[in-house]
Structure 1
Amino acid sequence: MRLENYIDHTLLKADATDSEIKELCLTAKQHRFYAVCVNGCHVSLAKRLLEGSKVKVAAVIGFPLGATSTPVKVFEASEYVQNGADEIDMVLNIGWLRARQMTTVQDEIAEIKKTIGQKILKVILETCYLTKEEIKWACEAAIAAGADFVKTSTGFGTGGATLEDVAYMHEIVGNRIKIKASGGIKDAKTAREYIKMGVSRIGTSSGVAMVAP
């Protein structure tokens, strides 16, 4: 497997500068990563820097808490797609999920997917806060709403991806939806373990080290 084909090269820290985004995009092009994943304010810059390459631009919305209102998330998604985002990584409303407001959770995901059309939608579950039952609910809601991926983590919660959680997610979703593992994945060995489990994308800020000879 070519690891670079799975990597969303990620920089989401609050103090990221334009020069750091430029470096992110340069290294993504050099190593032929699948995508860069950035905050919304950097989408236009990343799109310009990646022009002419095959590297996609993913933008996060409702990040990192998932607790902004649905209209705000919809506006973010629309704005970032207009600015050049190819993919949207949204944090679902974790409080609604834990309160079993499943129709509301599903409707929000569906509205965002409708807004971005054929663009890829990844739904971040933030599994560190969820029980297995809640992970199942979240996966089922994402599938029913037409999302393209479920994603483990923001990287800003109390924990990131785990092999146990990903195995359970795969058991639930099968081939109905793809999985992105993200949060705390820092070496090639771990990344390859996730891929062997059926993960289609790896979110990491350590992509360069992973593909180093």
Structure 2
Amino acid sequence: MVYNIKNSKQLASLINYTNLNNILTESEMREFLGKAKELNFHSVIVSPTYVTLAKEELKDTDIKVGSVVGFPLGFEDTPSKVAEAKALLDKDVDELEVVLNLSYLKDEKYGLLEDEVKQIKEVVGDKILKIIIETKALEDYQIANAAKVAEKAGADYVKTSTGFVSPNHIFENVNIINIIQKHAPKIKIEIFGGINEYKFANQILTAGSDIIGSDQGYEIVKAYKELRENTQVKPQPITLTKKD
């Protein structure tokens, strides 16, 4: 069984095209946004530095603009994360991705974690809130508890990695998806990290991820488009009568 992708437009709508390079120039960001506009991804995820530019460049599209809070380590205190979230909302960001405090999680301070996510969700309102849980650094039971906290506190998504340390095998990702679906069945899942070609993207979607994040989104969709939509196959003539 594979995820039934009908065309490149549908594939792009399932990808959050990501560029969080911290040494990116404005001209390079404009080039990235141009690629996003060409293929009409679900969203772009950019640093707070480039949210305003992204909103301006993509204003005539359906592409959402997302950015990050507490990135990439998540160890800022709650007031700092809330302030970051408010600053992004002032820039009219559509999606916020907040890195979970792993110190709290390792110490099983679930009340503190839940309170932090709730405070951020109150600020975010009806905008999309994703909680990044850095699964590669966690045991299975910690992934389960983190997902439960995120769901209970009102987050919309659990995202599985910052991209710095990512599960790099389909079976690791399937295990993570299964854990989240079992222990936090109402929350959506975004798999991020290491997805750099269509076959892997399709496997992730087939396994149950609601959406995928990738800094190779453009390459994935272009390769798919070349294969499925630009390949011309000349049919051979068929005769229905038996040759003598």
TM-score by length of 1: 0.95
* 1:104-143 mapped onto 2 (5 Å cutoff): 104-143=112-151
- Structure showing greater radius of gyration is 2
State the distance in 2 between where 1:125 and 1:25 align: 27
Of 135, 145, 169, the residue aligned with 2:180 is: 169
- Are positions 1:185 and 2:192 aligned together? no
Count, aligned residues:
212
Which residue in the other structure is 1:7 paired with? Answer: 15
Instruction: Output the CA distance in 1 between the equivalents of 2:177 and 2:49.
Output: 30
Contact conserved, 2:166 with 2:192, CA < 8 A, in 1? no
1:1-213 correspondence to structure 2 within 5 Å: 1=5, 2-157=10-165, 159=167, 162-174=173-185, 176-212=186-222, 213=226
- The letter for the 1-side match of 2:201 is A
How far is 1:158 from its partner?
Answer: 6.1
**SS of the residue 2:13 aligns to:** helix
Q: Residue 209 and residue 88 in structure 1: after superposition, are their counterparts in 2 closer, same or farther (change >3 A)?
A: same
Q: CA deviation at 1:18?
A: 1.2
Local SS of the residue matching 1:162: helix
Q: Deviations over 1:166-202 (max 9, x none)?
A: 232223222x010000011111111111111221121
Aligned counterparts of 1:143 and 1:172: Cα–Cα separation in 2:
9
Q: What residue ranges of structure 2 are gaps of 5+ in the alignment?
A: 227-244
Report the RMSD for the aligned CA atoms in angstroms: 1.3
Deviations 1:27-67 (A, max 9, x none): 11110100000111111111111111100001011000001
| AA of the residue aligned to 1:85 | V
Q: Secondary structure at the match of 1:180?
A: strand
- Counterpart amino acid of residue 41 in structure 2: F
Q: Distance in 2 between matches of 1:189 and 1:171?
A: 25
Q: What residue in structure 1 maps to residue 229 of structure 2?
A: none
Scaled by the length of structure 2, the TM-score of the pair is 0.84
Q: Which amino acid aligns with 1:98?
A: K
2:81 and 2:189 map into 1 onto residues whose CA distance is: 21
C-alpha spacing 1:71/1:204, structure 2 compared with 1 (3 Å): same
Deviation at 1:6, TM superposition (A): 0.9
The separation in 2 between residues aligned to 1:180 and 1:146, in whole angstroms, is 16
**Counterparts of 1:6 and 1:187 in 2: how far apart (Å)?**
14
